[in-house]
Chains A and B, each alone.
Chain A
Amino acid sequence: MRWLNKTGFMAAAAAALCAVLPGQASAQDKASVGVLRFVSSGGLFLAVEKGYFKDEGIDIQLKFFEAAQPIAVAVVSGDTTFGVTAFTGGFFNLAGNGALKVIAAQAKEAKGFEGNALLASNAAFEKGLNSFEKLSGKTLGVTQVGSSFHYQLGQIASAKKFDIKSVDIKPLQSLPNMAAALKSNQIDAIIIAPHLAKPLITSGEAKLVGYMSEIADYQFGGLFTSTNLIDSKRAMVQRFVRAYQKGQGDYNKSFATKDASGKVVHTADSDKDAALIGKYVYPTDTPEQAIPKVKASAFFADPQARLDIADIKTQIAWMKEQKLVDASVNADAIIDKSFIQGHLNDK
């Protein structure tokens, strides 16, 4: 009998989950975090390196992924306890089913900080793709449909008032594929993270059209966990968030402090923090090689990891409009505001 086996399996899975998540808070809780090797996750790396999690009695293990989407799946399936990455259509769909909750912010696009870049292939640049509005009618490589890059294309289209349908979107599944397709002029443009964009620009393999922060602010990533964990180990999640906030605070101080003229200023601490982040983002580089790269690719991150609530609602509304997210998904149900006080733009 198939269905008996299935219920049996579900019961076993539930039992296993309970075993993994004991009710009482022990001295050293174990937690794993799914994350990409991106500078935008730097706050998390700082919190790990500086022992903030250990101070909160959490034994943390990082699990590295190649794309944002699988992290959300891993948190739902219980393979990792937390996730720190960009929001995607798939993420919102999973969270909309009630399985995931966003509890804190990762990085964001903010005016005055470079952020993700729109790059043109050399051939397309020569043919005149040198500003955002000229993207209309071109081919744009993205990782996946519904990815944060796809959303940023939507932001360009609405800011520059062209129909998003006029852009031919090519899902290429991975960042290396995107870079390769752009270099060989198979596609006209890509939107890509700065630590990948800059080497392409300096080597002359692609041309910079502009930085996405010029277009619009964008709360593109967050810290999330499973609804089950919040229900069963709220105190541990609270301690995790505290440690995470300290890391985000350091990240903000090192990479988002501005002087009176509005220029980002780096201190000795910035170099130290960049070296720590570099260990994760550029594991094969020496600190001397990694420090300038990390500093040049840093995003803005809120010092208290507060989420831009209104912006997340805008994202979900746009994704619904594009039929990337199911109409039943409710933005309020996805965000758990109880761990951090005073989230931004929370009307």
Chain B
Amino acid sequence: MRDTATMPAPAAAPTPVVFRGGLFTPATSRIAGALALFGLIGLWQGASSLGWISPIFAPSPARVANALIGMAQSGELQDHIMASLARLFGGYALGMTGGVLVGLMIGLFGVFRSAGIAVVSAFFPIPKIALLPLFILWFGIGEGSKVATIAFGTFFPTVVATYGAVDNVDRSLVRMGRAFGLSTLAIITKIILPGSLPGIISGLKIASSIGIVLLIAAEMIGANQGVGALVLSAGNLMQTDQLLAGVVMLSVLGLTIGGFIGAIEKRLLVWR
């Protein structure tokens, strides 16, 4: 070990070493974050209460909160959330599982790679909303087309993130495994899968947000229930307080799902 402390010191007392490794790791404070949010809402409420913001253009936060409470009490809100969650999880289950599997195949096997990347690159940029009318013809106007939109929308980013993560696994580890005589299966399960997991999970995070965006699009056509349908019908009826209440629910939905994936990440990546 050679650091300044063990260097032969001059007559003066050794100077203590200052930790200088904290570069670019800004500390986060939950309190400051919450304060910023609440401050913004407070300003908005204040401006509304003083009559600076016309209720025609933006309802006050208190009215939005009232709308939320009213819908929660009548049970309407829960129905909307349950309907949306069912569609979201159906879509996630299909899109993400399929995406991880296909991504792994592309990452691991040369045969799939060329074909898979070509197909994925061709389909990824298509806005899935544009396909919604087709999905309605194929899967019906009910739940099928909505789940399909979310599944297709989450599938492609998951595939891209997964094979990218597999590609990024340190090749020297794979070679070392080989040198120690590990079987192909063992290399995949012990080195490649754990190594690509962080990349896959960050891909899932992005895909889950895309899923929520698509949920709104999917619920635009022929849905009576769901947070997206709520936002849309409130917009159509110019019930701006309910519209913003729906938007708040979407944000909460996104945060909850993000938090859920974060918790899984912490558990699976405990070795980091």
- Which residues of A come within 8 Å of B, CB atoms? 2-3, 6-7, 10, 69, 72-73, 76, 88-91, 93-94, 97-99, 139, 141, 144-147, 168-173, 177, 180-181, 184, 186-187, 324-326
Question: Which B residues are CB-close (under 8 A) to A180?
Answer: 133
Tell me the bound Cα distance from A146 to B234 in angstroms: 10
Min distance, Cβ B80 to any Cβ of chain A, angstroms:
13
A145 contact from B137, B140, B237, Cβ within 8 A? B237
Question: Which B residues are CB-close (under 8 A) to A147?
Answer: 236
Instruction: Check B223 for interface membership: any CB of A closer than 8 A.
Output: yes
- Which residues of B come within 8 Å of A, CB atoms? 40, 43-44, 46-47, 52-56, 133, 136-137, 140-141, 220-224, 229, 232-233, 236-239
Min distance, Cβ B219 to any Cβ of chain A, angstroms:
10
Question: Which A residues are CB-close (under 8 A) to B141?
Answer: 139, 170, 181, 186-187
A-B Cβ contacts below 8 A, count = 87
Tell me the bound Cα distance from A177 to B141 in angstroms: 11
Whether B56 lies near A76 (C-beta < 8 A) is: yes
Closest chain B residue to A77, Cβ basis: B57
Whether B221 lies near A177 (C-beta < 8 A) is: yes
Interface secondary structure of A, over-half rule: mixed
Known contacts A2-B44, A170-B224, A181-B136; 7 further A-B pairs (Cβ under 8 A): A76-B56, A98-B56, A171-B236, A181-B222, A186-B137, A186-B140, A187-B222
A173 contact from B56, B137, B221, Cβ within 8 A? B221
Question: Which A residues are CB-close (under 8 A) to B44?
Answer: 2
Given known A146-B233, A171-B233, A172-B221, contact A90–B238 (CB-CB < 8 A)? yes
Whether A168 lies near B46 (C-beta < 8 A) is: no
Tell me the bound Cα distance from A144 to B232 in angstroms: 9
B224 contact from A6, A141, A169, Cβ within 8 A? A169
Min distance, Cβ B153 to any Cβ of chain A, angstroms:
19
Question: Which A residues are CB-close (under 8 A) to B224?
Answer: 168-171
Closest 8 CB pairs of A and B: A170-B222, A90-B238, A144-B236, A145-B233, A93-B238, A186-B141, A89-B237, A3-B47
